Amino acid sequence: MENLIILGAGPAGLTAALYAARANLSPLVITGNSVGGQIATTDLVENFPGFPEPIGGAELAERMKQQAERFGARFEFDEAIEVDFRGHPFQIRTYGGEYQAKAVIVATGATPRRLNVPGEQEFWGRGVSVCATCDGFFFTDKEVVVVGGGDSAFQEGLFLTRYARRVTIIHRRDQFRAQPILQERARRNPKIGFITDTIVTAILGEGRVRAVRLRNVKTGEEREFPTDGVFIFIGYEPNTALFRGQLELDEAGYIRVNERLHTSVPGVFAAGEVHDRWFRQAITSAGFGAMAAMEAEKFLAELEHRGVPTAATPR
């Protein structure tokens, strides 16, 4: 029987582990397939408070893990494959075993949709990005392309004009889905250009990105388009398939939470990109992780008050 199980080890899960461990809850973190989540695939992180010099994403994640372990958090490199939140204690089954928990924090994150074209994986984190806020600075006075036609593509494209010499938005249709006000701002910006009715079929380069191969979906015409970077904003998929039928999800599959990160099941909390559709930053996910851990501690304290012992309760 565990006091608290945290599912996921990105910034949200790692920070939740730290706060829960400092509350003497001895949390167990089931990491999933990696420690650090998306941040672990980021080459350099420059916008996480407390690090005036750039730090590698994997190193930052490892430091967060070590900090949580220092206070008693435990990590199991395993993946949850089934949960049962219909009764209490909660049941969690992984590839390696079965667990019971009095409280659970879901921090399984979201996965950016990919183009799934040649070169994308090769240059991931080295010219291919899904975060303008994280990586825009590295493209100062360079030319970049943004793939997508929704709000995120336009918002991130506008943000990139702070750094890039030229931003070209590429969209597979002839109409954009972004809000009209965003489209108007982009069209007024002299740094932004548009290519419509077109898809990216490959990302090209040697050591670094030098071009994308494009195909017009109406004419079939193909060409190479020079660029220094590729930013992909075609949506995210929240990692919530495991929780369908267990927790209330919104129309896009994100976990519904209240302002204190409580889910539809008392004792189950959510933190980070598994519920956050808007900010998607390591620091905001870390903040959500702290909030969820504090709420979980209150829930467990109430259980203890009602006579359900926790690991911190003197025997």
Catalytically active residues, by annotation: 131, 134-135
Cα dist from 20 to 4, 5, 93, 265, whole Å:
8, 10, 22, 19
Q: Which residues fall within 8 angstroms of residue 78, CB to CB, at 6 or more apart?
A: 30, 31, 94, 95, 96, 97
| CB-based contact 131:146 (threshold 8 Å) | no
The three-state secondary structure class of 270 is strand
Distance CA 244, CA 256 (A): 12
**Which residues, in sequence order, are bridge partners of residue 92?**
83, 99
Q: How many CB atoms lie within 10 A of CB 126?
A: 14
